[in-house]
Every structure is written in structure tokens, then in C-alpha cells.
A and B are shown apart, each in its own frame.
Chain A
Amino acid sequence: NAGVMQNPRHLVRRRGQEARLRCSPMKGHSHVYWYRQLPEEGLKFMVYLQKENIIDESGMPKERFSAEFPKEGPSILRIQQVVRGDSAAYFCASSPAYGGGYNEQFFGPGTRLTVL
């Protein structure tokens, strides 16, 4: 009964490189969310996806960041040309399809990105 899986757990990149973060939702969950946590801060929403669709990307920076959740395979958060300010913990969460009510989101262990 695996929970939300994220890999890698730790990622080190030099400025200008690309970072790819992967998230596999819990079995049976079709909604994926990405959040970013800076030191001493709460989690900040980035993007909400369903299979092959971006539902809400209001928290995504306008440049360098993109996300996808293909029909097959994990969700990917991609950061191009990373800068030191991108260093943070990135958390993925998943939830089942809405059944007319509210559903809590279940979080993965996070990917800690360090940009040198």
C-alpha cells in the first residue's frame, strides 16, 4: 500500500542546469499537486494537475517552470536554468477524484533541491 512516491529525494544542480522532479500518486488517485517550501516558510501551492490536464497553475513562476502529468507514468515538475533561489523542498501531493465533497491531500516525502 504505497503512498505518494517522489524521486529523487535529494537533487543537486549547478546554476543553469535543469532539474526534473518526479511524483507517483497514491494508487487510485487521479489528482496531483505540487508545492514548494522555502526555509522557515509554509508550503506554497504551485500547480494542480489531472491526467493530461493542468487544472490550476496560478502558483507557478511564469518562466523556467513547467509541470505535466501524462497518461502513463509519473507527474514531472521541470525547472530549467536553475538559480540559487530555486533551492527548496518540493512536495507532491495526491487526492482521489472529487466525489462532490472535499478530499484531503496526501503528501510525498519531498525532493530537496540544492542549487550550487
Chain B
Amino acid sequence: DQQVKQNSPSLSVQEGRISILNCDYTNSMFDYFLWYKKYPAEGPTFLISISSIKDKNEDGRFTVFLNKSAKHLSLHIVPSQPGDSAVYFCAASGYGGSQGNLIFGKGTKLSVKP
């Protein structure tokens, strides 16, 4: 049973436009959410995070929105650049008091076309 779901395996956008990556979760005990970016043959790289007491966090071109009532979060990248092409993973923690245990979605592969 997947607790963190990324229902779009892939997304293609034009350079300069907005990329919106979505993530849904089922466990209301999650209280911290993170986005990671991963290139092939490399480890995930932390991008941005948000705690459940906020509904928005912004860092440069990256903004994460959290809708707790819908158990949904999204990552917006504006403007998208070809170097953003990678697999993006949504992750959540807080369940069961084990804050070290990150639960990952399966990822969305973003392709930004020049």
C-alpha cells in the first residue's frame, strides 16, 4: 500500500514555462515533506521541503505548496530550464514517530525541451 503517490510517471514542458509536479499522500501523521531531484547514476539531491504548519515554501525558482485537507502537495518550477530534466521524488516523514524514515513516491521524470 503506497503512502506517497506520484501518479504521473513523466512530464514534458517547454523551456521557460512552468513545471508542476504533483504528489498525494494517505497518512495524516506525515508532518514533513521533501522534494528530491535525481539524475541517472547519481544519488537524490535535496531540493526543498515544507513542514505541515505551512502551506507554501519558496526557494528561488522552486515553490512547494501543501494542501493538508486534500493530502496533496505540488512542486512548481518557474521558469523551467533544460538542466531541470531529471526524476523528481516526493518524500514524507513523521509517521510512527520515526522521523528518520522517509517514505518516497515512485518519481516523476521531467523533460524540459529547449
Contact = CB atoms under 8 A, between A and B. Distances in A.
Given A45-B101, A58-B98, A110 B107 contact: no
A41 to B, nearest CB: 6
A108 interface: yes
Interface residue tally on B, bucketed by range: 20 to 34
Contacts of B34: 104
Contacts, number: 67
A110 B104 contact: no
B43 A107 contact: yes
Contact of A109 (B6, B43, B46, B104): B43
A105 B99 CA distance: 11
Contact of A48 (B44, B100, B104, B107): B100
Contacts of A42: 4, 6, 89, 104-107
A106 to B, nearest CB: 6
Given A102-B32, A107-B36, A4 B43 contact: yes
Interface residue tally on A, bucketed by range: 20 to 34
Pick from B4, B34, B101 the residue with the most CB of A within 10 Å.
B101
B57 interface: no
27 contacts: A31-B100, A33-B102, A40-B106, A42-B89, A42-B107, A43-B44, A43-B91, A43-B102, A45-B102, A48-B98, A55-B98, A55-B100, A56-B98, A59-B101, A93-B43, A102-B93, A102-B99, A104-B34, A104-B46, A105-B46, A105-B100, A106-B46, A107-B43, A107-B45, A109-B42, A110-B41, A112-B41
